[in-house]
Amino acid sequence: METITWHDFEKVELRTGTILEVADFPDARKPAYKVQVDFGPHGIKWSSAQITKHYTKEQLIGRQIVGVINFPKKQIATFMSEFLLTGFADSNGDIVLTSIEHPVPNGSKLI
């Protein structure tokens, strides 16, 4: 593992957002959703997320998530992903979303 400086960590824009919309993504190589998230003052952004094993579309609407919003956009099949939705792999390699214990304003930075 490489050690980073505090300055390096501060460069990563880990921000909270609320999921507004979730759509199927049949063009993805692995099962995934298209997820639209409101990051408050940082805007509304879309991402592709391989989270279909643990979450239905209905369970995700209104949920607060943590996303990295300062990566460059990335083409995923026919879709342009604008941020990275964060999570952890469970023992089967399926993604479990990073959770927020209490609601915070959209756009809040992880500190």
For the segment 20-32, the average pLDDT, to the nearest whole number, is: 96
Residue 61: give the domain boundaries.
6-97
8 Å CB contact between 43 and 73:
no
Q: Give the per-residue pLDDT at 48.
A: 97
- Report if residue 104 sits inside a domain: no
- Report if residue 33 sits inside a domain: yes
| Model pTM score | 0.94
- Report if residue 105 sits inside a domain: no
- List all residues 6 or more positions away from 55 whose beta carbon is below 8 Å from its beta carbon: 33, 97
- Report if residue 110 sits inside a domain: no
Going 93 to 83 to 44 to 17, the CA torsion angle's sign is: positive
- Report if residue 50 sits inside a domain: yes
Q: Give the per-residue pLDDT at 98.
A: 96
Q: Give the per-residue pLDDT at 100.
A: 95
Tens-place pLDDT, residues 39-97: 999 999 999 999 999 999 999 999 999 999 999 999 999 999 999 999 999 999 999 99
- Report if residue 106 sits inside a domain: no
Q: Give the per-residue pLDDT at 4.
A: 96
For the segment 22-44, the average pLDDT, to the nearest whole number, is: 97
Looking at the 3D structure of the chain, how many domains does it have?
Answer: 1
58 membership: H or E segment, kind and range = helix 57-60
> In this structure, what CATH number is given to the domain that contains residue 40?
2.40.50.140
pLDDT band at 3 (very low <50, low <70, confident <90, very high): very high
